[in-house]
Structure 1
């Protein structure tokens, strides 16, 4: 007979106060159907596209039929989802004429690649022909496909919180099954959602790093500060819908939900401190990012201090800040530093 503490480590429970699923050995399952239904509606409702002919917007999600669940076995997450969706789109021509049609997605499933998703766009029978149908079939369908890809990403990040528990030594290896469904492989992209969970200390330990970046902008600290806390300005430089509540405790989500977090300290025109993360980082792991705005006469020096970035993502995170923040802000608002 094994002595106390020398048994099969998969069954050791005395080292966890809650004695729950130690080493993630037992099969656990979580129903994601209700959460998924709400998430799908929030991602699709309000999607808008426009061109020289007019604009189109998803104004109703009339059908969300299906189910979704996540299983954990030996620290491996297995995702299942299958949905049949129908929505209504409303168009408005430049002449002020309204049109209405429908969108059907019958095969959103873990068995299908996102690129193979059927998105059927049609105009209601009693409506006259309009070029806006082509707009919805092209750009509209593209945005819908991207939103559904974001749903899969959120399912695998937000909803899985707590399903992989820390092992006896406090370290966990996150794994997921090889699902055929492919989410947007660009780690930064577009769409929005206002929900974001508060950070919880799960006890999971990962190696992290800290680094500092500085950049000069040809504008005042006040104008540069607004770019980060104003929703309309954030949407402008990211070229996509975003949710930004520019106040202490306010949440933000941008770039297709791939970047999210919360403002923890705001000193007007001087400093912003935030919890900041990519949505594919381990669940509930946030970096602390501090933005300091320094007045350099006709320019502003922006100092970005990042702490808690996963070691493996250091270079990628630095590159993301340069491309999707620094360069994008300069190009959008004309804040490029003066050349001497």
Structure 2
């Protein structure tokens, strides 16, 4: 036991009225949820999306669910945020009086995605021709503006909200490699990084705890239609709402969702089975899962079974949600193969 006044210097705090963590060694957390809600509303509500032909505006944030925190560990700021946002828009074609309305959904604003990779889904409340044109204008030309505003939120979170979190420090404490006192989310984040040796900085990789997931979906279409929706470039581009790279042949590469999903086809049996090496950009470098999609055509529908092995355990839930939201729900909405999202 250390003598009085000779404790571990990592736990010694200078005598300052404002300094309970001057050496910045302890883990401190600052809740940014309330601030984030106000910031996101200020950035998005009333946002104009216009050109010489179309005039649109985001009128109201109707859903803003999630959380955000800023953490300080050893004078290093770490941010965690995850938001599911829905909003209403209105717009009209310049020179006309008819106002049309619709909805915008931003389901994946989180630290896992760069602002330019954040999905922005746009729908119109009616199937009128002018409403469709306005919806497409927002989707094609307004998405970048919305992503820029979300990027500004991230910058302000890191620069404006976090001011004062790192206090002037005394002598820096000797650091150890122990993660015993770190929160579990930070431990998982650190373990997911590739191990780098000092000799040549060569990536050695890490042992990843993986899980298997299965899913079964029913589509109101023939097996050939859902097979083509997953392998033909124009159909894949339609439901992902982004440009894609896809080579539907054994060994062919695919790049979807602005590079968030990549891989290659390992097996293609038309209308019966698709095999893939599949990875998410957020996974450890070089790690791929194995995906098998099989199609069973019934009299009035097609049943599809998904089997995926090698999913990082920490990403199992988000991977399941990603398949459901960005593949199956989007395919059903885009091609009418199932119930509408709205």
Instruction: Indicate the structure with greater helix content.
Output: 2
Q: Which TM-score band applies after superposition, normalised by the shorter structure? A: 0.3 to 0.5
Q: TM-score, normalised by structure 2?
A: 0.46
- Between structure 1 and structure 2, the one with the greater Rg is 2
